[in-house]
Structure 1
């Protein structure tokens, strides 16, 4: 018997490993890079955002729509690179909450957790409303007699049921559904945008990107609105426990999602800005820009097909956002911040079913109540998008501040990651302030900031009362994975 064979047959005992991970219950190491990337792409929903967010940016920065989107893409890439400093070193279900806690401690971690819960929840509501809006838009064209308000309400209920079924049935199913839906949607949108560019004629890209003198405050506000098209790119990190080779695949998924989404958004912005300019119309006045352009250039039926893709993309976004939300709630429960029952998982499908059951009535119920109360879906989308963006950006700022501290603490501090993190944090903070102070509905936007602040304070106080110190649990190797691994007898067995 060779030395290697003897070592395998009779390994040297290695103590100190647990019988199960602190995040046990999830289906560990079960999905590959494509599925992990699908989570981030679904949460971003580039097919839906390419039309809706470009429209919103044009309302805030009409003379710098393309420039604002490019600025948001560059900023998002800097934030993605900063988050990757954590994702390359450990796998966690809490993502930004866990990262911030590891860098800045419990209080900042809880603040980031509260902010990202608000972000994921509000964007999930935004996605459900967006899907219902486009479905009602399509059905209204086919059957004009349909009551639009009733159609939206029924669609919202059906969407919530469909999302619940997909989320509970397992991460592989939800990731594959999101991947297929978003891939088809993006392909439809990109193909239609390419055709429209041909019909629009030569596009002066330089003039579209640098239109001349631009109000820097409007550009900053436009950039933060455009940033809402990218939020969710980090949600692949919430699948760190369930990912194969998470220290490699999660950073790739995060960065790749920003690059892919940025390319789609710039194409969409160039097409829409150039198309409406050629028609002599105001982009901000359009209800469905891509559909309007398709009709104006004789491609009306393809505009309808694109709307189907946009509705499907919104549904994928709801699935992705809720998937990330339930993982964060699960992680906060395992840390003792939230009730222990939220950390329970399904025995067969290994999904955080308790967190899903707690979150879905709120996420699905609020849009339904909005619809019943007579709030127009577009108005509801603007409200939930503003709430979600505020939550996301607060969490992004905190994790960017946490990164240099974390790297210094573990003895791996280097200059460029620190510079990227600090510049990203300052740019995000400045852009958010500009957005909240110069927005068209200043009182509403300030109330958004107030809601996020109140949620943060409440969770911080609850967390301090329940467990003030040890936060930020992440996945760890277990005894069964280590040759000769021995776990403490009191920990139990199995994962």
Structure 2
């Protein structure tokens, strides 16, 4: 095969995902599973409470507000065209393929990093579930079994995995939410908690540092956009899925943070240092026997999040692979299952390799390191999408003042989130993670610059036809 042939984008005929196979429920299931709401009462709220104390509910409220502006910017583009590459395609159309490539590079770290972090979280939950019976489940075994099952499901059928994820998350939210309502039943005098509402003991420094963790609780809400080619009526279903997953998760997280502080009788220091908050919660409610059950529920929810993250990462890699932003094999699909099986395998293997490499640091640290790194990737993509939306509308002659305001607020929210991760300077090794991420992005930028120099025809083609056919771009308003 000649060099010219190797540089040519993969043709649509060789890369045909199963179109129009997903309804609204499967689409919102992808976003909700990627958010994994059960992770917040299981582990995330502890980290937030350690920094923000009684203001934990406000951290989630502010995160909801900031990301709601981001979601409105996503809707601007998702309601006009849809594609498998989501942000890679959206941002490329507004700011050009180089900017789209940067966003895609950041999202590779975001989605795979989320899969890594949540897989570590799943190991914590499984071990907590079996600990009361004296059973120690090896971390490596959890990684291998879960990683293999994720690969199998993701490479076989996106509809099955999305439905399974939605069912798991819906059941988890109902069960955990029901238990937290019992907290208010047992503490009726704290339904209106003046300690929390007046933010007693909360500092601006703590709120700023906790915002990054708050944002991480939501990341992945936009991943429904990665199913643009496989969703029925994507110009309506995907925007609805993005907005509603954001609203539902925001309301649930704010409620969880408020209720957990009530459950701990306002002792935020105890909450912030508790490695098993669900067990403490159930012990306080007089239901200690349900502890293992709840951690099994949390582990299944975490598994659904890993599955959703691999699904999103593979669709991103599929779209980028078609134009050699990554290896062209990522843009191929299985002839029978019509899934990007090479991209699924790559994302699954990368997740396992990194998690095994970090086993010596402990599963809790693996969760923290990879999740923080992933959050930076999301922040970059969310910032670029907030910039892209008003610019795209201006090019179309449709820009209104409200669109400009939404774009600016969304972008500033992400700048603030990143700033909170570097100042005040966090403890080692979290103080070096932002710079490691910057190094990763610089490497990606160099790679894109080399691509532009070596194969300028690839970028020229993207400029004129990002998805090669009308089957990939469904239309414009």
Please indicate, yes or no, whether the TM-score normalized by the shorter chain is above 0.5.
Answer: yes
Quote the residue 2:7 is aligned against: none
Q: CA deviation at 1:344?
A: 0.7
RMSD: 2.2
Q: Counterparts in 2 of 1:136-151, with a 5 A limit?
A: 136-144=127-135, 146=136, 151=138
Q: 1:209, 1:215 → 2: CA distance?
A: 14
Q: Counterparts in 2 of 1:17-28, with a 5 A limit?
A: 24-28=15-19
Q: Counterparts in 2 of 1:95-494, with a 5 A limit?
A: 95-144=86-135, 146=136, 151-203=138-190, 204-205=192-193, 207-212=195-200, 214-278=202-266, 282-371=270-359, 373=360, 375-438=361-424, 440-441=426-427, 443-466=428-451, 467-468=455-456, 469-470=459-460, 471=462, 473-474=466-467, 476-478=469-471
Q: 1:184, 1:120 → 2: CA distance?
A: 24
Q: 1:166, 1:200 → 2: CA distance?
A: 43
Q: CA deviation at 1:74?
A: 0.8
Q: 2:435, 2:98 → 1: CA distance?
A: 18
| Cα distance change on mapping 1:337 and 1:438 into 2, 3 Å | same
Quote the residue 2:3 is aligned against: none
Q: CA deviation at 1:464?
A: 3.1
Q: CA deviation at 1:84?
A: 0.6
Q: Which whole-Å deviations, capped at 9, do the CAs of 1:126-166 have from their partners, x for residues lacking one?
A: 1111111110111121125x3x6xx2111111100110111
Q: 1:210, 1:404 → 2: CA distance?
A: 37
Segment drifting more, 462-471 vs 104-113: 462-471
Q: 1:250, 1:244 → 2: CA distance?
A: 9
Quote the residue 2:6 is aligned against: none
Q: 1:208, 1:402 → 2: CA distance?
A: 37
Asked whether the equivalents of residues 47 and 189 of structure 1 are also in contact (C-alpha less than 8 Å), the reply is yes
Q: 1:105, 1:22 → 2: CA distance?
A: 25
Q: Which whole-Å deviations, capped at 9, do the CAs of 1:210-233 have from their partners, x for residues lacking one?
A: 325743232222222111100000
Q: 2:379, 2:14 → 1: CA distance?
A: 26
Q: CA deviation at 1:313?
A: 0.8
Q: Secondary structure at the match of 1:338?
A: coil
Q: CA deviation at 1:465?
A: 2.8
User: TM-score scaled by structure 1?
Assistant: 0.87
Q: CA deviation at 1:451?
A: 2.6
Q: Secondary structure at the match of 2:338?
A: coil
Q: Which whole-Å deviations, capped at 9, do the CAs of 1:257-303 have from their partners, x for residues lacking one?
A: 01111121112111111121356862111112122021122011233
Asked whether the equivalents of residues 54 and 195 of structure 2 are also in contact (C-alpha less than 8 Å), the reply is no
Asked whether the equivalents of residues 23 and 475 of structure 1 are also in contact (C-alpha less than 8 Å), the reply is no
| Cα distance change on mapping 1:80 and 1:478 into 2, 3 Å | closer
Asked whether the equivalents of residues 273 and 283 of structure 1 are also in contact (C-alpha less than 8 Å), the reply is yes
Q: 2:168, 2:80 → 1: CA distance?
A: 31
Residue segments in structure 2 that go unaligned for 5+ positions in a row = 1-10
Asked whether the equivalents of residues 36 and 301 of structure 2 are also in contact (C-alpha less than 8 Å), the reply is yes
Q: 1:305, 1:229 → 2: CA distance?
A: 23
Segment drifting more, 385-394 vs 429-438: 429-438
Quote the residue 1:3 is aligned against: none
Q: 1:360, 1:118 → 2: CA distance?
A: 13
Segment drifting more, 356-365 vs 154-163: 356-365
User: Is residue 45 of structure 1 aligned with residue 36 of structure 2?
Assistant: yes
Q: 1:337, 1:440 → 2: CA distance?
A: 34
Q: 1:155, 1:111 → 2: CA distance?
A: 33
Q: CA deviation at 1:408?
A: 0.7
Q: 1:43, 1:33 → 2: CA distance?
A: 16
Q: CA deviation at 1:461?
A: 2.6
Residue segments in structure 1 that go unaligned for 5+ positions in a row = 1-19, 483-495
Asked whether the equivalents of residues 336 and 463 of structure 1 are also in contact (C-alpha less than 8 Å), the reply is no
Q: CA deviation at 1:115?
A: 0.9
Asked whether the equivalents of residues 38 and 178 of structure 1 are also in contact (C-alpha less than 8 Å), the reply is yes
Segment drifting more, 453-462 vs 99-108: 453-462
User: TM-score scaled by structure 2?
Assistant: 0.90
